[in-house]
Amino acid sequence: MSVKERFSGIWLMAMTLLSLLAFTVYFVAQMWLSILQMFYLTLAVAQCVTLVIYMWGPEKLRSRLMRILYRVLFASSVVVIPAFAFIFMGLVSQYHINIPESIPAATMPVDQILPRDQTVIYDTGTVYVFFPEYSEVNLVCEHRPSKADQSITWCSGAAFQHEISLGFTQENVEGDHAVRGTLYESPYNKSSFAAFVFADGRFSFAFDDPSEAIREAAAAGGSGFMQFGLIRDGETVMNIARPRARCYRTLAELNGNLCVIDSVNMMHFEDFMAELHRLGVTNALYMDMGAGWNYSWYRNVEEKVVTLFGLPVPWSHNWIVFQK
């Protein structure tokens, strides 16, 4: 066996193992997108088939078409490394960064977890409670908010999108929504959706008639969007079964104030909910925290941007921003 053949065998074995690992990491990262699932599965199968043909002996292939197919499959191995790098970034992005500037609040009375004049973060040991400095809260669609915009103190994903698409349309945003006074009606309103709206300097959560709340916010020049209702008047209204731990986020009302609450580490959903109830969260919307969709950052008291989850996906097209 020549050196070239030996090198080809080592390369194929390495790429086969790496493609199988990439497919496994895909599930660990919980990036439940059909198009990605088929891509990683196809890539892994292609490498396995190529390796089997190599071990059997490609010189035994009598059909010209089969020999061409083998070369194509062999060439596909060059995609494995960048594909693994992408999915590895997805896995890493599931882990929340440590925030050393947060205020220890594990033993703090919950009625003292309050906003201040500037952005403040509390760490209960289980969750981070963010009180961004703001005078208004807006929904931004299509173009990702810039970190150079000094007025923004918080940015994170907001509404679900109906289809995975690189292009943007307002119709693809699930749930009626309003952007600075402009109303966009959606064909994808779900019965379990609640609404968050901000208009006339005030925020509110609407559970009974979220569409009407969005319309009223738009008429008042405000913004709003729909997401799954999580907690209403202190009572859980959403239960989800998650076989694995992950990071969770909610847009919530705590002690009469608007805040964002993130789990400190990956955890089970029921533990996250238990902490929200311990804190006495009044109303809350579920905020998706899947890999890529969890892209988020805030501006601290020193006017520096702190990135919480830094993997934006190109098919994410709407965000909630707190602005001074």
The pTM of the full predicted model, rounded to 2 decimals, is: 0.77
Question: Tokens 């009223």 appear where?
Answer: 216
**Residue 33 has what pLDDT?**
56
**Residue 93 has what pLDDT?**
62
Positions of the chain with pLDDT lower than 50, given as ranges: none
Tell me how far apart the alpha carbons of residues 102 and 24 are, in angstroms, rounded to a whole number: 34
**Residue 291 has what pLDDT?**
65
**Residue 155 has what pLDDT?**
97
Tell me how far apart the alpha carbons of residues 284 and 108 are, in angstroms, rounded to a whole number: 22
**Residue 26 has what pLDDT?**
73
**Residue 34 has what pLDDT?**
59
State the average pLDDT for the chain.
90
* DSSP string for 168-227: --GGGBSS-EEETTEEE--S---TTEEEEEEETTEEEEESS-HHHHHHHHHHTT-EEEEE
**Centroid of chain to Cα 255:** 26
Burial of 91 (0-12, 13-18, 19+ CB in 10 A): middle
